[in-house]
Amino acid sequence: MSGLGRRHHRELLVSDLDGTLLRPDATLSAFTVSVVNEYIAGGGLFTYATARSYTSAARVTAPLRLRLPVMTYGGVVVVDPVTGQARQAQFLPAALVEEVFRLTEGSRLVQPIVYVIREGRDRACWLADRITPGVANFLRARPGDPRLLPLSTRDDIDAASVFYVSLIGDRQPLHELFELLSDAPGGCHFVLAEDIYSAGQWWLELTSGTKAAAVAALKAEVAAETVTCFGDQLNDLPMFAVADTALAVANAAPEVRAAATQVIGANTDDGVARWIAATATSADPLNSGGAGPVPVQVGHRRSAGRGGSRPAVR
């Protein structure tokens, strides 16, 4: 990896997972694992920011020897990759959650999957007696997932404990909900986009944070001089806005390529790893022994997005 070590400042690298660091089959290539681990072993600052839960992300990133906090659920929940414990979660306004419940009450087209922190861990909850096709697909893809917690009634959930809401289904009913909800007060972030793994299946997601706020906070915590972000989809645009260098993989959505500092190789060609091997920042000589996980505070930002494709929270 002769490219490692060409520049000499503290540079934080943050990569999206699905469609960016991961190959189309949602795995890491041996080349990517080797490059990233060599970069980290040399004291380089590397982590990921994903729409996935930590449960799902940890499974696909297991070969990586990560040290820094990782950003999950679109930056809303920051997790220590060594212990697997959540360090911070940004909760949605209870009034917004209640409005989602009201707008979907009795609907057979869309029902929310709400994510809460319960007994120290994240749980994914839905009404067990109202399974829409989108919820059915979600459950079918997650047999044995320890996060799953079916509900018998909405009263089983405290709206103030919800940090993430997903609604899955056809575009039209979700677009209508997007229009109704995206002007709601409370500083929330909305994304409506198609799942990159399931054509025709759309997700509307509501959070109180973005990858941008988490990335900016981590930059300060680790005293990085610059941040380089890698991404491919609309939910990566906020972190592109706070990055010193924003790199879109060649397979990225048009809006993401347009917002990027540079377009690099596609995820099918290990674009992120090849960029790191060729041009990444060197290890900090004072930190060559590596650093342990660093505490991070997640910020709050209002924005909205729509269209494009995105990896489902998994």
Residue labelled with tokens 């709601």:
184
**Chain centroid offset of residue 87 CA:** 15
- Note the pLDDT of residue 255: 96
**Which tokens belong to 311?**
């990896």
Tens digit of each residue's pLDDT (9 = 90 or more) over 53-77: 898 999 999 999 999 999 999 899 9
Q: In this structure, are residues 276 and 35 in contact, taking their beta carbons and an 8 Å threshold?
A: yes
pTM assigned to the model: 0.76
Write out residues in the chain with pLDDT < 50, as ranges: 1-3, 5-8, 281-312
Tens digit of each residue's pLDDT (9 = 90 or more) over 25-43: 999 999 999 999 999 999 9
- Note the pLDDT of residue 209: 80
Q: In this structure, are residues 31 and 276 in contact, taking their beta carbons and an 8 Å threshold?
A: no
- Note the pLDDT of residue 108: 86
Distance from C-alpha of 181 to C-alpha of 198, rounded to nearest angstrom: 24
